[in-house]
């Protein structure tokens, strides 16, 4: 079989195949890409984010989601943020966020630069996206990109455990102390 015999997968092909896999993949350039395993600190931040979002968004139209749900950053490209918030129609059998408004990426040593640069640019292309949050696992610092009324993106650096992460599209603030709960990080 030659390289020309390999055809890019459709999103439907990808999710049909992904159902039978033990590991989690993204669809990149039409082909599956294995996601790296994460450390305990990374997992704790993701758990803290999701716990906070569930508490703050109860009884609203917004639904938090985990990395098991994909975001189609452009046709045929599926990314799996560490966490996110969807406000679109709910499909209990679906694998994609219908209208993601916020995504969270917790940086990892192996994907740090890619997540901070390329993935952020891909997420900016999602029409429903309002905030992109990149979390530094080593200390209380996040970068938050927010889409302004005119459609332009602005970035803010938030540091310190006393600070809060504003997410006006959700009408909430996430306390930084909650994101880093049970982690030994200093200001």
Q: What is the pLDDT of residues 15-25, one digit of tens each?
A: 899 889 888 88
pLDDT at 163: 97
- Beta strand segments in 59-171, E: 63-66, 71-74, 77-79, 83-86, 100-106, 131-136, 141-147, 153-159, 164-167
Average pLDDT over residues 140-158: 95
pLDDT at 116: 59
Q: What is the pLDDT of residues 46-101, one digit of tens each?
A: 999 999 999 999 999 999 999 999 999 999 899 999 999 999 999 999 999 999 99
Tell me what the pLDDT averaged over the chain comes to: 90
CB 96 within 8 A of CB 86: no
Report whether pLDDT(168) > 50: yes
Between 5-9, 44-48, 102-106, 173-177, the lowest mean confidence (pLDDT) is in 5-9
Q: Which one has a higher pLDDT value, 22 or 179?
A: 179
Structure tokens, 160: 């310190």
Determine the Cα–Cα distance for residues 87 and 99; give it in Å rounded to an integer: 5
Average pLDDT over residues 17-34: 86
Query: pLDDT category, 113, cuts 50, 70, 90?
Result: low
**Largest Cα–Cα separation, the chain:** 58
Determine the Cα–Cα distance for residues 111 and 25; give it in Å rounded to an integer: 14
pLDDT at 1: 46
Determine the Cα–Cα distance for residues 80 and 45; give it in Å rounded to an integer: 16
pTM, rounded to two decimals: 0.89
Structure tokens, 180: 């880093």
CB 179 within 8 A of CB 40: no
User: Which residues lie below 8 Å from residue 81, measured CB to CB, with a gap of 6+?
Assistant: 67, 71, 100, 103, 104, 105, 119, 123
pLDDT at 112: 53
Query: pLDDT category, 111, cuts 50, 70, 90?
Result: low
């Amino acid at each position: 079989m030659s390289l020309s015999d390999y055809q890019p997968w459709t999103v439907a092909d990808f999710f049909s195949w992904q159902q039978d896999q033990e590991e989690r993949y993204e669809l990149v350039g039409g082909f599956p890409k294995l996601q790296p395993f994460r450390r305990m600190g990374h997992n704790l931040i993701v758990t803290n984010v999701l716990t906070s979002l569930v508490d703050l968004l109860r009884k609203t139209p917004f639904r938090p989601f985990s990395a098991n749900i994909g975001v189609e950053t452009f046709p045929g490209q599926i990314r799996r943020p560490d966490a996110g918030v969807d406000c679109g129609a709910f499909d209990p059998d679906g694998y994609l966020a219908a209208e993601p408004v916020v995504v969270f990426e917790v940086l990892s040593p192996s994907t740090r630069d890619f997540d901070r640069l390329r993935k952020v640019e891909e997420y900016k292309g999602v029409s429903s996206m309002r905030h992109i949050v990149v979390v530094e696992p080593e200390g209380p610092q996040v970068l938050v990109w927010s889409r302004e009324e005119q459609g332009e993106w602005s970035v803010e650096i938030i540091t310190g455990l006393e600070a809060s992460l504003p997410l006006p599209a959700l009408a909430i603030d996430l306390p930084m102390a909650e994101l880093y709960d049970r982690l030994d990080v200093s200001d």
